Structure 1
Protein backbone atom coordinates (compact mmCIF):
# COMPACT_ATOMS: atom_id res chain seq x y z
CA UNK A 1 0.00 0.00 0.00
CA UNK A 2 2.84 2.37 0.86
CA UNK A 3 4.49 1.72 -2.51
CA UNK A 4 1.32 2.74 -4.35
CA UNK A 5 1.18 6.03 -2.49
CA UNK A 6 4.85 6.71 -3.20
CA UNK A 7 4.40 5.94 -6.89
CA UNK A 8 1.32 8.16 -7.07
CA UNK A 9 3.20 10.99 -5.40
CA UNK A 10 6.07 10.55 -7.83
CA UNK A 11 3.71 10.65 -10.80
CA UNK A 12 2.03 13.75 -9.40
CA UNK A 13 5.34 15.47 -8.60
CA UNK A 14 7.22 14.93 -11.87
CA UNK A 15 5.20 17.25 -14.19
CA UNK A 16 5.45 20.35 -11.93
CA UNK A 17 9.17 19.73 -11.39
CA UNK A 18 9.79 19.43 -15.14
CA UNK A 19 7.70 22.55 -15.73
CA UNK A 20 9.72 24.45 -13.12
CA UNK A 21 12.99 23.41 -14.79
CA UNK A 22 11.61 24.78 -18.07
CA UNK A 23 13.48 22.62 -20.53
CA UNK A 24 10.97 23.50 -23.24
CA UNK A 25 11.56 22.13 -26.72
CA UNK A 26 14.44 19.92 -25.60
CA UNK A 27 12.23 18.15 -23.06
CA UNK A 28 9.46 17.72 -25.64
CA UNK A 29 11.93 16.12 -28.06
CA UNK A 30 13.34 13.81 -25.39
CA UNK A 31 9.90 12.75 -24.16
CA UNK A 32 8.71 12.16 -27.72
CA UNK A 33 11.77 10.07 -28.57
CA UNK A 34 11.66 8.05 -25.35
CA UNK A 35 7.94 7.46 -25.81
CA UNK A 36 8.44 5.94 -29.28
CA UNK A 37 11.42 3.87 -28.12
CA UNK A 38 9.37 2.44 -25.25
CA UNK A 39 6.43 1.69 -27.56
CA UNK A 40 8.68 -0.08 -30.08
CA UNK A 41 10.44 -2.04 -27.32
CA UNK A 42 7.10 -3.17 -25.88
CA UNK A 43 5.87 -4.16 -29.35
CA UNK A 44 9.03 -6.20 -29.96
CA UNK A 45 8.69 -7.85 -26.55
CA UNK A 46 5.05 -8.71 -27.27
CA UNK A 47 6.04 -10.18 -30.65
CA UNK A 48 8.80 -12.23 -29.04
CA UNK A 49 6.34 -13.59 -26.48
CA UNK A 50 3.88 -14.47 -29.25
CA UNK A 51 6.62 -16.21 -31.24
CA UNK A 52 7.75 -18.18 -28.19
CA UNK A 53 4.41 -19.15 -26.64
CA UNK A 54 1.88 -19.31 -29.49
CA UNK A 55 3.27 -22.14 -31.66
CA UNK A 56 2.29 -25.65 -30.63
CA UNK A 57 5.85 -26.89 -30.36
CA UNK A 58 8.77 -27.13 -28.00
CA UNK A 59 9.71 -23.60 -26.98
CA UNK A 60 12.39 -22.04 -29.14
CA UNK A 61 15.48 -20.41 -27.73
CA UNK A 62 15.34 -16.63 -27.43
CA UNK A 63 18.17 -16.12 -29.92
CA UNK A 64 15.97 -17.65 -32.63
CA UNK A 65 13.00 -15.47 -31.74
CA UNK A 66 14.71 -12.09 -31.52
CA UNK A 67 15.44 -11.52 -35.27
CA UNK A 68 11.77 -11.85 -36.19
CA UNK A 69 10.70 -9.64 -33.28
CA UNK A 70 13.18 -6.93 -34.30
CA UNK A 71 12.12 -7.17 -37.95
CA UNK A 72 8.44 -7.02 -36.95
CA UNK A 73 9.13 -3.94 -34.81
CA UNK A 74 10.94 -2.14 -37.62
CA UNK A 75 8.28 -3.08 -40.19
CA UNK A 76 5.53 -2.00 -37.77
CA UNK A 77 7.23 1.33 -37.11
CA UNK A 78 7.68 2.08 -40.82
CA UNK A 79 4.12 0.99 -41.62
CA UNK A 80 2.68 3.04 -38.75
CA UNK A 81 4.55 6.20 -39.72
CA UNK A 82 3.68 5.79 -43.41
CA UNK A 83 0.03 5.05 -42.65
CA UNK A 84 -0.16 8.03 -40.28
CA UNK A 85 1.17 10.31 -43.02
CA UNK A 86 -1.28 8.78 -45.49
CA UNK A 87 -4.29 9.30 -43.22
CA UNK A 88 -3.28 12.88 -42.39
CA UNK A 89 -3.00 13.80 -46.07
CA UNK A 90 -5.99 11.88 -47.37
CA UNK A 91 -9.16 13.89 -46.78
CA UNK A 92 -11.53 11.53 -48.56
CA UNK A 93 -11.86 9.26 -45.51
CA UNK A 94 -14.36 11.63 -43.95
CA UNK A 95 -16.17 12.16 -47.25
CA UNK A 96 -16.27 8.45 -48.07
CA UNK A 97 -16.96 6.89 -44.70
CA UNK A 98 -18.43 9.79 -42.75
CA UNK A 99 -18.07 9.33 -39.03
CA UNK A 100 -16.94 5.74 -39.57
CA UNK A 101 -13.74 6.97 -41.24
CA UNK A 102 -11.81 6.65 -37.98
CA UNK A 103 -13.03 3.07 -37.57
CA UNK A 104 -11.96 2.21 -41.12
CA UNK A 105 -8.54 3.77 -40.53
CA UNK A 106 -8.13 1.90 -37.24
CA UNK A 107 -9.04 -1.41 -38.87
CA UNK A 108 -6.52 -0.79 -41.63
CA UNK A 109 -3.85 -0.02 -39.01
CA UNK A 110 -4.72 -3.26 -37.17
CA UNK A 111 -4.30 -5.11 -40.47
CA UNK A 112 -0.88 -3.51 -41.04
CA UNK A 113 0.16 -4.42 -37.49
CA UNK A 114 -0.93 -8.04 -37.94
CA UNK A 115 0.91 -8.16 -41.25
CA UNK A 116 4.12 -6.95 -39.56
CA UNK A 117 3.77 -9.63 -36.87
CA UNK A 118 3.26 -12.33 -39.53
CA UNK A 119 6.30 -11.14 -41.49
CA UNK A 120 8.46 -11.39 -38.37
CA UNK A 121 7.15 -14.89 -37.68
CA UNK A 122 7.90 -15.92 -41.27
CA UNK A 123 11.44 -14.58 -40.94
CA UNK A 124 11.93 -16.68 -37.80
CA UNK A 125 10.51 -19.70 -39.59
CA UNK A 126 12.85 -19.35 -42.56
CA UNK A 127 15.90 -18.73 -40.37
CA UNK A 128 15.11 -21.83 -38.35
CA UNK A 129 14.45 -23.92 -41.45
CA UNK A 130 17.90 -23.25 -42.87
CA UNK A 131 19.91 -23.64 -39.67
CA UNK A 132 22.11 -26.61 -38.83
CA UNK A 133 21.75 -26.04 -35.08
CA UNK A 134 19.02 -27.26 -32.77
CA UNK A 135 16.76 -24.31 -32.02
CA UNK A 136 14.67 -25.75 -29.19
CA UNK A 137 15.43 -25.75 -25.49
CA UNK A 138 15.10 -29.52 -25.03
CA UNK A 139 18.71 -30.22 -25.86
CA UNK A 140 20.89 -30.57 -28.91
CA UNK A 141 20.10 -33.11 -31.59
CA UNK A 142 21.41 -33.67 -35.08
CA UNK A 143 19.47 -32.23 -38.00
CA UNK A 144 16.97 -34.76 -39.22
CA UNK A 145 16.64 -36.24 -35.74
CA UNK A 146 15.03 -33.25 -34.08
CA UNK A 147 11.52 -34.01 -35.27
CA UNK A 148 11.23 -30.44 -36.54
CA UNK A 149 8.99 -29.78 -39.53
CA UNK A 150 7.68 -26.74 -41.28
CA UNK A 151 4.03 -25.88 -40.72
CA UNK A 152 2.77 -27.38 -43.98
CA UNK A 153 4.25 -30.83 -43.28
CA UNK A 154 1.70 -33.67 -43.23
CA UNK A 155 2.93 -36.28 -40.79
CA UNK A 156 0.63 -39.12 -41.84
CA UNK A 157 -0.75 -38.67 -45.35
CA UNK A 158 -3.14 -41.60 -44.84
CA UNK A 159 -5.12 -39.70 -42.20
CA UNK A 160 -5.01 -36.38 -44.04
CA UNK A 161 -8.27 -34.75 -44.99
CA UNK A 162 -9.15 -35.23 -48.63
CA UNK A 163 -10.31 -37.87 -51.08
CA UNK A 164 -9.33 -41.42 -50.25
CA UNK A 165 -8.80 -44.31 -52.66
CA UNK A 166 -12.02 -45.88 -51.35
CA UNK A 167 -14.10 -42.84 -52.28
CA UNK A 168 -16.49 -43.58 -55.08
CA UNK A 169 -16.46 -41.48 -58.19
CA UNK A 170 -19.71 -39.51 -58.30
CA UNK A 171 -20.72 -37.60 -61.39
CA UNK A 172 -22.66 -34.36 -61.29
CA UNK A 173 -25.99 -35.90 -62.45
CA UNK A 174 -25.68 -38.64 -59.82
CA UNK A 175 -25.02 -36.04 -57.14
CA UNK A 176 -28.02 -33.96 -58.22
CA UNK A 177 -30.15 -37.10 -58.23
CA UNK A 178 -29.11 -37.85 -54.65
CA UNK A 179 -29.90 -34.42 -53.29
CA UNK A 180 -33.02 -33.63 -55.34
CA UNK A 181 -36.24 -35.25 -54.17
CA UNK A 182 -37.83 -37.42 -56.84
CA UNK A 183 -41.31 -36.12 -56.13
CA UNK A 184 -42.31 -32.70 -55.12
CA UNK A 185 -45.21 -32.38 -52.67
Structure 2
Protein backbone atom coordinates (compact mmCIF):
# COMPACT_ATOMS: atom_id res chain seq x y z
CA UNK A 1 0.00 0.00 0.00
CA UNK A 2 1.05 3.62 0.04
CA UNK A 3 1.96 6.11 -2.64
CA UNK A 4 4.88 5.64 -5.00
CA UNK A 5 7.47 7.49 -7.01
CA UNK A 6 7.98 5.94 -10.45
CA UNK A 7 10.83 6.65 -12.87
CA UNK A 8 12.01 5.13 -16.13
CA UNK A 9 14.91 2.74 -15.64
CA UNK A 10 16.69 3.63 -18.88
CA UNK A 11 18.97 6.36 -17.51
CA UNK A 12 21.52 6.32 -14.67
CA UNK A 13 20.68 9.98 -13.88
CA UNK A 14 17.19 8.88 -12.84
CA UNK A 15 18.59 6.59 -10.14
CA UNK A 16 20.87 9.29 -8.79
CA UNK A 17 17.94 11.72 -8.67
CA UNK A 18 15.63 9.27 -6.89
CA UNK A 19 18.26 8.42 -4.27
CA UNK A 20 19.06 12.08 -3.66
CA UNK A 21 15.38 13.09 -3.53
CA UNK A 22 14.54 10.51 -0.89
CA UNK A 23 17.78 10.74 1.08
CA UNK A 24 18.10 7.02 0.43
CA UNK A 25 21.31 5.02 1.00
CA UNK A 26 22.94 4.07 -2.29
CA UNK A 27 23.24 0.47 -1.12
CA UNK A 28 19.45 0.10 -0.75
CA UNK A 29 18.07 -1.32 -4.02
CA UNK A 30 15.13 0.06 -5.97
CA UNK A 31 12.31 -2.25 -7.03
CA UNK A 32 10.77 -2.22 -10.49
CA UNK A 33 7.12 -1.78 -11.34
CA UNK A 34 5.76 -3.94 -14.17
CA UNK A 35 2.31 -3.98 -15.79
CA UNK A 36 1.62 -7.72 -15.56
CA UNK A 37 3.02 -11.17 -14.80
CA UNK A 38 4.25 -11.94 -18.35
CA UNK A 39 6.67 -9.00 -18.03
CA UNK A 40 8.23 -10.64 -14.95
CA UNK A 41 9.62 -13.36 -17.23
CA UNK A 42 11.33 -10.77 -19.42
CA UNK A 43 13.13 -8.99 -16.60
CA UNK A 44 13.71 -11.87 -14.15
CA UNK A 45 14.87 -15.46 -14.08
CA UNK A 46 11.75 -17.06 -12.64
CA UNK A 47 12.21 -20.30 -10.69
CA UNK A 48 8.75 -20.56 -9.13
CA UNK A 49 5.49 -21.78 -10.67
CA UNK A 50 3.61 -19.32 -12.85
CA UNK A 51 0.54 -19.87 -10.69
CA UNK A 52 2.48 -18.62 -7.64
CA UNK A 53 3.20 -15.33 -9.42
CA UNK A 54 -0.49 -15.01 -10.30
CA UNK A 55 -1.49 -15.80 -6.69
CA UNK A 56 0.61 -12.91 -5.33
CA UNK A 57 0.56 -10.39 -8.19
CA UNK A 58 -0.88 -7.85 -8.74
CA UNK A 59 -1.19 -6.65 -5.18
CA UNK A 60 0.72 -5.40 -2.12
CA UNK A 61 3.63 -7.85 -2.51
CA UNK A 62 7.13 -7.26 -3.89
CA UNK A 63 8.90 -10.41 -5.05
CA UNK A 64 12.70 -10.50 -5.06
CA UNK A 65 13.96 -12.61 -7.96
CA UNK A 66 17.17 -13.04 -9.91
CA UNK A 67 17.39 -10.30 -12.52
CA UNK A 68 17.77 -11.00 -16.23
CA UNK A 69 20.11 -9.23 -18.64
CA UNK A 70 17.11 -7.30 -20.01
CA UNK A 71 17.22 -4.91 -17.02
CA UNK A 72 19.43 -1.83 -17.19
CA UNK A 73 22.76 -2.87 -15.64
CA UNK A 74 22.92 0.48 -13.80
CA UNK A 75 19.82 -0.42 -11.76
CA UNK A 76 21.10 -1.89 -8.48
CA UNK A 77 24.48 -2.90 -9.96
CA UNK A 78 25.61 -4.26 -6.58
CA UNK A 79 23.15 -7.20 -6.57
CA UNK A 80 22.04 -9.95 -8.97
CA UNK A 81 18.51 -9.65 -7.55
CA UNK A 82 15.65 -7.25 -8.17
CA UNK A 83 12.38 -6.56 -6.40
CA UNK A 84 9.38 -6.80 -8.72
CA UNK A 85 6.03 -5.21 -7.96
CA UNK A 86 2.80 -5.23 -9.92
CA UNK A 87 0.59 -2.81 -7.97
CA UNK A 88 -3.06 -3.57 -7.40
CA UNK A 89 -4.22 -0.24 -8.82
CA UNK A 90 -5.14 -0.41 -12.52
CA UNK A 91 -3.85 3.11 -13.23
CA UNK A 92 -0.27 2.37 -12.18
CA UNK A 93 -0.26 -0.86 -14.21
CA UNK A 94 -1.53 1.05 -17.24
CA UNK A 95 1.24 3.66 -16.87
CA UNK A 96 3.81 0.85 -16.70
CA UNK A 97 2.30 -0.71 -19.82
CA UNK A 98 2.36 2.58 -21.76
CA UNK A 99 6.00 3.25 -20.80
CA UNK A 100 6.97 -0.11 -22.34
CA UNK A 101 9.90 -0.40 -19.93
CA UNK A 102 10.29 -1.26 -16.25
CA UNK A 103 9.76 1.66 -13.90
CA UNK A 104 11.98 2.19 -10.88
CA UNK A 105 9.66 2.10 -7.89
CA UNK A 106 9.99 3.51 -4.40
CA UNK A 107 7.59 4.89 -1.83
CA UNK A 108 6.68 8.57 -2.04
CA UNK A 109 8.31 9.63 1.21
CA UNK A 110 11.69 10.50 2.59
CA UNK A 111 13.80 7.46 3.45
CA UNK A 112 12.92 5.81 6.78
CA UNK A 113 9.69 7.83 7.16
CA UNK A 114 6.15 6.43 7.30
CA UNK A 115 4.52 5.54 3.98
CA UNK A 116 2.36 8.27 2.49
CA UNK A 117 -1.32 7.51 1.95
CA UNK A 118 -2.32 10.83 0.35
CA UNK A 119 -0.52 13.17 -2.04
CA UNK A 120 -0.44 15.95 0.56
CA UNK A 121 1.68 13.74 2.83
CA UNK A 122 4.64 14.00 0.46
CA UNK A 123 4.31 17.69 -0.46
CA UNK A 124 8.01 18.30 0.23
CA UNK A 125 8.80 16.12 -2.82
CA UNK A 126 6.41 17.86 -5.23
CA UNK A 127 8.87 20.47 -6.60
CA UNK A 128 11.16 17.63 -7.71
CA UNK A 129 8.53 15.49 -9.46
CA UNK A 130 7.48 15.78 -13.11
CA UNK A 131 3.91 14.56 -12.50
CA UNK A 132 1.68 13.98 -9.49
CA UNK A 133 -1.49 11.91 -9.84
CA UNK A 134 -4.08 12.06 -7.06
CA UNK A 135 -6.46 9.10 -7.07
CA UNK A 136 -7.57 9.81 -3.50
CA UNK A 137 -6.41 8.31 -0.21
CA UNK A 138 -5.04 4.78 -0.18
CA UNK A 139 -6.88 2.70 2.39
CA UNK A 140 -7.93 3.95 5.81
CA UNK A 141 -5.49 6.75 6.61
CA UNK A 142 -6.15 6.18 10.33
CA UNK A 143 -5.06 2.53 10.09
CA UNK A 144 -1.39 1.86 10.95
CA UNK A 145 -1.49 -1.29 8.78
CA UNK A 146 -2.02 0.85 5.67
CA UNK A 147 1.37 2.49 6.26
CA UNK A 148 3.35 -0.76 6.37
CA UNK A 149 4.19 -0.81 2.67
CA UNK A 150 4.27 -3.90 0.52
CA UNK A 151 5.32 -7.27 1.86
CA UNK A 152 8.76 -8.02 0.37
CA UNK A 153 9.66 -11.69 -0.13
CA UNK A 154 12.86 -13.12 -1.62
CA UNK A 155 12.08 -16.12 -3.87
CA UNK A 156 15.54 -16.38 -5.44
CA UNK A 157 16.46 -19.66 -3.69
CA UNK A 158 14.50 -22.67 -5.02
CA UNK A 159 12.19 -24.25 -2.43
CA UNK A 160 12.59 -21.39 0.05
CA UNK A 161 11.35 -17.90 0.77
CA UNK A 162 12.74 -15.15 2.94
CA UNK A 163 10.67 -12.26 4.28
CA UNK A 164 12.67 -9.07 3.74
CA UNK A 165 9.93 -6.74 5.00
CA UNK A 166 6.71 -7.94 6.67
CA UNK A 167 4.54 -5.23 5.13
CA UNK A 168 0.76 -5.23 4.92
CA UNK A 169 0.18 -8.67 3.34
CA UNK A 170 2.47 -10.91 5.40
CA UNK A 171 -0.04 -13.45 6.73
CA UNK A 172 -1.71 -14.07 3.35
CA UNK A 173 1.63 -14.26 1.54
CA UNK A 174 3.19 -16.75 3.97
CA UNK A 175 0.02 -18.86 3.88
CA UNK A 176 0.17 -19.11 0.08
CA UNK A 177 3.91 -19.84 -0.01
CA UNK A 178 3.86 -22.50 2.72
CA UNK A 179 0.46 -24.16 2.34
CA UNK A 180 -0.09 -24.02 -1.40
CA UNK A 181 3.49 -24.28 -2.68
CA UNK A 182 5.31 -26.02 0.18
CA UNK A 183 8.09 -23.43 0.35
CA UNK A 184 10.13 -23.24 3.55
CA UNK A 185 10.90 -20.01 5.33
CA UNK A 186 14.43 -18.76 5.86
CA UNK A 187 14.97 -16.44 8.80
CA UNK A 188 14.02 -12.84 7.98
CA UNK A 189 16.76 -10.32 7.25
CA UNK A 190 17.91 -8.21 10.13
Q: TM-score, normalised by structure 2?
A: 0.17
> Rg: which structure is higher?
1
Task: Report the structure, 1 or 2, having the larger strand content.
Answer: 2
Higher RCO (CA-CA < 8 Å; seq separation 6+): 2
